[in-house]
Amino acid sequence: MKQHVYESIYLSEKDFQEGRVLFETWDPNARYAWDAGVAIGRFLQGLKAGRLIGTHCPQCDRVMVPPRMFCEHCFVPADAFVPLQDTGTVVTFSLCYVTWDMERVEEPQIPAVIAIDGASRGMGILHLLGEVDPQAVKIGMRVQAVWKPEEEREGAITDILYFKPLQSPSHPITQSPSPQSKRGAK
Amino acid sequence: MSLMYRIQHLRDALAWEGEIPISNRYTMGIAGERFFREIKDNGQLLGTRCPECDLVYVPPRLYCERCFAHLEEWVEVPGTGHVHTYTIVHLDLDGNPLPEPRVLAFIRLDGSDGGLVHYLGEVEPDQVCIGMCVEPVFKDRAERRGSILDIVYFRPI
């Protein structure tokens, strides 16, 4: 059977603009509404009011943030919303020199997981660090939320602009021995 | 703050709203380019013919769907045809009511084994019937841009 191979055609933006190729365009209406649910809904309302909110597990006594309706360790329903502080401790962080859409930036973005004061140990949220020299960021660093002005808040995680360093000694989280050193001591 | 919290007002039900910007650009392909170029320039419908199967494809295909032969025989079809099936549409893509109901039909084209889905015009929706003979109404040549909408609609003959 005879083979038919069509010549490859590479199209540039100019080919479209100058009408050398016929095409259709379609911009689908991709609007969506994502129901935040009871726990996160309450969390977002809290952010609008300038507070962080967690939930409490009656069985293991954990205070969980972001709040959830049940404890994933005990499988029991959470029994209360608990107001938390807007300070915390850097658990882990990254210096990002590339934005989400792959643009190179001079000043790095610093996403970090921040353990929130008032919640159980290790419970925290992902946010950005600011007002800090990237080279000075350390795990265990004490930080505080910088909020948007009240009239600009909309019930979103971005109602906190970023977390900035607090001038106080490191949290005990980094001073307690790591699991490895505990085992080594035995 | 108790977990026995119940939403009392609709404004308390928090939903996160957003929009995903998506823009698609769809090229016609090799056969489609020739088909729509001919509509744009000459107001003429083209098809491709498979001599093995004696089938005329409109819209044109590059390969026969029955025997997979490469199709090189291009034929002109008159554009007239008959309503194979139709429906009356009252809502737009987003579910909003249309100002006027529109009739969409699958039109079997004369001189071919294919057909087009298109609007019917110059006819009351309750006058449309299966088997009705129709012809295409083209836009003015200057307004045509190589699209299926260069045909405004099909109207009864």
The pLDDT assigned to B16 comes to 76
In angstroms, the Cα distances linking B47 to B77, B91, B113 are 7, 32, 10
ipTM over 0.90: no
Q: Residue A31 is nearest to which of B14, B19, B70, comparing CB atoms?
A: B19
The pLDDT assigned to B69 comes to 92
Q: Residue B19 is nearest to which of A30, A77, A83, comparing CB atoms?
A: A30
Cis omega (within 30 of 0) on the bond before A108?
no
The pLDDT assigned to A176 comes to 41
Backbone angles phi, psi at B53, to 5 degrees: -95, -10
The pLDDT assigned to A180 comes to 41
Flag if A81 and B22 touch (Cβ within 8 Å): no
Residue A151 DSSP one-character state: G
Signed CA dihedral, B24, B28, B29, B33: sign only = negative
Rounded mean pLDDT, A64-79 = 94
The CA distance from A173 to the nearest CA of chain B, in Å, is 29
Q: Which residues pair with A129 in a beta bridge?
A: A110, A163
Between B9 and B113, the higher pLDDT residue: B113
- Average pLDDT for chain B: 91
3-state helix, strand, coil in chain B (%, to 5): 15, 45, 40
Give the pLDDT confidence of B87-127 residue by residue, as tens digits.
999 999 888 999 999 999 999 999 999 999 999 999 999 99
Residues of chain A in Cβ contact (below 8 Å) with chain B: 2, 4, 6, 11, 16, 21-36, 38, 40-42, 44-45, 53, 55, 69, 77-83, 155-156
Tell me which H or E stretch contains A105.
Answer: strand A104-116
Flag if A41 and B14 touch (Cβ within 8 Å): yes
Rounded Cα distance, A60 and A74, in Å: 7
Q: Residue A23 is nearest to which of B5, B21, B25, comparing CB atoms?
A: B25
In angstroms, the Cα distances linking A166 to A77, A90, A157, A163, B40 are 35, 11, 20, 9, 68
pLDDT over 90 at A2, yes or no: no
**Contacts with A122 (C-beta within 8 Å, 6 or more apart), sequence order:** A91, A115
Rounded mean pLDDT, A36-50 = 90
Stretch 3-42 of chain B: residues touching chain A, C-beta under 8 Å:
3, 5, 12-28, 30, 32-33, 36-37, 40
> In percent, how much of chain B has pLDDT > 90?
83
Angle at B8 between CA A54 and CA A47, to 5 degrees: 30
Between A20 and B47, the higher pLDDT residue: B47
Q: Which two tokens stand for residue B109?
A: 């084209």
pLDDT over 60 at A177, yes or no: no
- DSSP labels for B53-112? TTEEESS--SB-TTT-PBP-EEEEE-S-EEEEEEEEEEE-TTSPEEEEEEEEEEEEETTS
Give the pLDDT confidence of A83-110 residue by residue, as tens digits.
999 999 999 999 999 988 889 999 999 9
pLDDT over 70 at B48, yes or no: yes
Model confidence at A179, pLDDT cuts 50, 70, 90, reads very low
Model confidence at B13, pLDDT cuts 50, 70, 90, reads low
Model confidence at A163, pLDDT cuts 50, 70, 90, reads very high
Model confidence at B9, pLDDT cuts 50, 70, 90, reads low
Flag if A77 and B14 touch (Cβ within 8 Å): no
Q: Which of A168-177, B50-59, B138-147 is the least confident region? A: A168-177
Rounded Cα distance, B64 and B52, in Å: 9
Cβ atoms < 10 Å from Cβ of B66: 10
Rounded mean pLDDT, A14-43 = 88
The pLDDT assigned to B7 comes to 57
